[in-house]
């Protein structure tokens, strides 16, 4: 039911859950990274006429617009070579994103419907960016039973011998017995497609929510794996995805907190906040603007938080993979 449920949800062409897809600071951080990577790889010095960027989970197009605006300000030559591809399951969302970019003056844009759970476009990107996509793909919940990988939802043992099941077995063997663990099998397939499509020196950024360790008692953990709201989602098991990228796909990979990535890349202290239309990063001064402060105070952000003394932890991560 997972695929059908999510197709039904995304066909509506509107978002009823909040993400960081509109945040300008993530766009700025990834743009700086992109410019630095392009310079290191010599993309503008080569014979290629186009630098291909692919984005999955396009939202309303604000990330792409902010990203391109920032790249243009940092490196106009690189910007002039970018061919930006938008991919989403929802044709309505693609039209809205394309209209946003067109209104912002962007012309070298291609928009294509894509079901990431089923297929992968035949392009060779320099850079791929995913926004809360893997959590929406079907996943399996496994546990270790009698030394074998047991699929909890289907009540059956996984077929031994294949690369994915072996990776799951190695991961589960490192944990205490009895834990139910999300293993994002469709995300692993998608990562395999990314690995095959990336150009040498290309890389991908995955922004999503999930976990890197099991730090709850087994009874609580086993009942808190799946998130279900308007559609079905599974937390991304980033520790497994990192091990799978390195061990099975021969890719370089690392994972870090999204908060750390954005603040460290931009070299500024930023704080995650939830507003009416989405999740955003703000500076202390931005949080304390009268109109923003008036909204935040009744919604769980007290004066101590707005003072910048601490930042509330969250489960959003940045996962990077690349090929050398």
State the pLDDT at residue 10: 46
Give yes or no: residues 90 and 161 share one domain. Answer: no
Q: Does residue 218 lie within any of the structural domains? A: no
Give yes or no: residues 118 and 199 share one domain. Answer: yes
Domain span at residue 161? 140-172
State the pLDDT at residue 1: 40
Dihedral sign computed on CA atoms, order 211, 216, 219, 223: negative
Confidence of residue 5 (pLDDT cuts 50, 70, 90): very low
Q: Does residue 29 lie within any of the structural domains? A: yes
State the pLDDT at residue 117: 66
Confidence of residue 22 (pLDDT cuts 50, 70, 90): confident
Give yes or no: residues 161 and 199 share one domain. Answer: no
Give yes or no: residues 87 and 203 share one domain. Answer: yes
Sheet holding 140-145, edge to edge: 156-157, 148-151, 140-145, 181-183
Give yes or no: residues 26 and 111 share one domain. Answer: yes
pLDDT tens by residue, 252-306: 999 999 999 999 999 999 999 999 888 999 999 999 999 999 999 999 899 999 9
State the pLDDT at residue 13: 47
For the chain, where are the alpha helices, taking DSSP H only? 2-10, 24-41, 62-74, 76-81, 91-103, 163-172, 185-197, 218-221, 238-247, 258-266, 284-287, 290-296, 303-306
Q: Does residue 192 lie within any of the structural domains? A: yes
Q: Which residues contact 130 (CB under 8 A, 6 or more apart)?
A: 55, 56, 57, 204, 205, 206, 207, 208
pLDDT tens by residue, 187-230: 999 999 999 999 989 999 999 999 999 888 998 888 876 654 55
Give yes or no: residues 253 and 158 share one domain. Answer: no
Give yes or no: residues 90 and 145 share one domain. Answer: no
Of the listed ranges 9-13, 93-97, 180-184, the one predicted with least confidence: 9-13
Q: Does residue 302 lie within any of the structural domains? A: yes
State the pLDDT at residue 49: 81
Q: Does residue 221 lie within any of the structural domains? A: no
Q: Quick check: 101 and 64 in contact, CB under 8 A?
A: yes
Q: What is the CATH number of the domain that holds 17?
A: 3.40.50.150
Tell me what the pLDDT averaged over the chain comes to.
89
User: Structurally, how many domains does the chain consist of?
Assistant: 3
Residue 2 has pLDDT above 70, yes or no: no
Q: What percentage of the chain exceeds 70 in pLDDT?
A: 91
**pTM here?**
0.91
């Amino acid at each position: 039911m997972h695929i059908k449920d999510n197709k039904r949800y995304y066909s509506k062409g509107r978002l009823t859950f909040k993400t960081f897809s509109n945040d300008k600071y993530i766009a700025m951080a990834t743009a700086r990274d992109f410019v630095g990577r392009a310079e290191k790889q010599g993309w503008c010095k080569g014979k290629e006429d186009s630098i291909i960027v692919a984005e999955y989970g396009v939202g309303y197009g604000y990330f792409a617009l902010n990203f391109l605006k920032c790249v243009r300000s940092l490196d106009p030559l690189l910007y002039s070579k970018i061919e930006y591809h938008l991919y989403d399951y929802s044709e309505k969302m693609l039209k809205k994103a394309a209209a946003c970019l067109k209104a912002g003056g962007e012309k070298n844009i291609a928009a294509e419907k894509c079901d990431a759970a089923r297929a992968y476009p035949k392009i060779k990107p320099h850079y791929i960016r995913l926004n809360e996509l893997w959590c929406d793909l079907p996943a399996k919940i496994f546990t270790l039973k009698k030394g074998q990988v047991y699929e909890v939802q289907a009540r059956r043992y996984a077929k031994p011998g294949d690369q994915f099941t072996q990776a799951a077995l190695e991961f589960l063997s490192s944990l205490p017995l009895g834990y139910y663990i999300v293993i994002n099998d469709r995300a692993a397939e998608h990562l395999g497609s990314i690995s095959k499509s990336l150009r040498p020196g290309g890389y991908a950024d995955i922004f999503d929510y999930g976990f890197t360790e099991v730090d709850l008692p087994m009874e609580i953990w086993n009942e808190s794996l799946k998130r279900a709201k308007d559609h079905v989602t599974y937390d991304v098991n980033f520790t497994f995805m990192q091990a799978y990228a390195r061990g099975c796909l021969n890719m370089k990979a690392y994972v870090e907190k999204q908060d750390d990535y954005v603040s460290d890349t931009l070299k500024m202290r930023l704080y995650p906040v939830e507003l009416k239309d989405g999740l955003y990063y703000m500076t202390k001064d931005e949080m304390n603007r009268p109109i923003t402060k008036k909204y935040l105070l009744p919604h769980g952000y007290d004066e101590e938080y707005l003072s910048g003394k601490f930042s509330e932890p969250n489960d959003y991560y940045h996962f990077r993979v690349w090929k050398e």
